[in-house]
Chain A
Amino acid sequence: METSFTPIQALFGGSLIGIAAVALMALHGRVAGMTGILTGVILPKGDWGWRIAFLLGAVAAPVVILLLKGQSLPLQAEIPTSAIIMGGLLVGFGVTFGGGCTSGHGVCGIARLSPRSIAATLTFMVTTFVTVFAVRHVMGEF
C-alpha cells in the first residue's frame, strides 16, 4: 500500500520524540527506551510507578489526537494475523537479547554515541530492510 511523504509531520513528530527523551532523562534520569520501560512493567524489579505512567501516557496519545482533530490518525496495515504474531514474537525475543529497540538504541543510545547502540541500530536497520525486500519482492506478499 502506498503512503505519501509527510516531511512536516515527520519532523514535528520526531522532535516530540526527542523532547520526551530529553525530559525523561532530565527529570527521571532514565533512557526513553520502550523495551526497557515495558519489560520493567511486565517483570517488575521495583520502581514500577513511573514506567506504567509513561506507558499509559503513550497509549493515550491516539485518544488525545482523536479528541483534538475529530479523527484518528490512520493505522494502515493489511498484514495477516499470523504474520503479526510471528513478528511480535521475534521482536520481543530480539529486543530482550539485543537490550533495546528503535527508541532505546536508535534514538537515546546513538545520542550518547554508545558503540553498542550504533552497532545494534545498524544491525536491525539492515535486517528489517532485507526482510521487507524478501517479503515484498521475493515472496510477493503484503
Chain B
Amino acid sequence: MLRVVSAAAIGLVFGLGIVISGMANPAKVLNFFDVFGTWDPSLMLVMASALVVTFVGYRFVLRRSAPAFDRTFHLPTKRDLDVPLIAGSALFGIGWGIAGFCPGGAIPALGSGEPSPFIFVAAMIGGILGANALRAAFARRRVLA
C-alpha cells in the first residue's frame, strides 16, 4: 500500500514538474528547438536543473545497498552502443519534432482534458506495441535460424 501511494505521489511531483516547466506544452517544446525562428530557451534550464538534481541525488542514493521498498536497484546494465539504440533515438527525435510531445510530456498533458495529448498517446501506444511485436518476430527468426 505504502509502495503504491508513494509511487502516485512521486508521479504527481514528476507531472507537476513537467507541467510547470512547460514540457507538456508542444509550442514551448518546439520553440526550444527553433533556434532560427521563435526560439525559447526555457527547456535548456529544465533539462539542466533536472539533471543537476538527479546527478547529485543519485550520488547519495546509489551509495546505499538497496532502495526502501525493494531488495535491489533496477538499473540498466547495457553499456555498448548499438544500431537499435541510435536508430530508435533518431526516430524518436523526428516524432518529437513533428508533434512536440515526448512520452514524459504527453502523459501529464492528458490531465488537461485537451484532445491532442489523447490522440498522441494513442498513436504512441500503437508505436510501442508495433515495435515490440516486430522485436518479438525478429527474436523468433533468430531462434529458428
Contact = CB atoms under 8 A, between A and B. Distances in A.
Interface of A: 1-7, 9-32, 34-35, 38-39, 42-43, 49-51, 53-65, 72-79, 81, 83-99, 101-103, 105-112, 114-116, 119-121, 123-137
Contacts of A35: 103, 128
5 contacts: A1-B27, A13-B23, A20-B14, A91-B92, A102-B96
Leading 8 A-B pairs by shortest Cβ distance: A92-B127, A13-B21, A87-B99, A18-B53, A57-B11, A88-B123, A131-B97, A61-B15
Contact of B47 (A72, A91, A96, A106): A106
A59 B106 CA distance: 9
Nearest to B49: A14
Given A30-B70, A62-B113, A133-B34, 15 more contacts: A3-B31, A18-B54, A51-B7, A59-B110, A75-B109, A76-B28, A86-B99, A96-B135, A101-B102, A103-B103, A105-B89, A111-B55, A123-B90, A128-B93, A136-B30
B50 A93 contact: no
Contacts, number: 487
Contact of A29 (B28, B55, B74): B74
A54 B124 contact: no
Contacts of B129: 42-43, 92
Nearest to A32: B14
Contact of A14 (B45, B100, B124): B45
Given A57-B7, A57-B15, A99-B85, A131 B26 contact: no
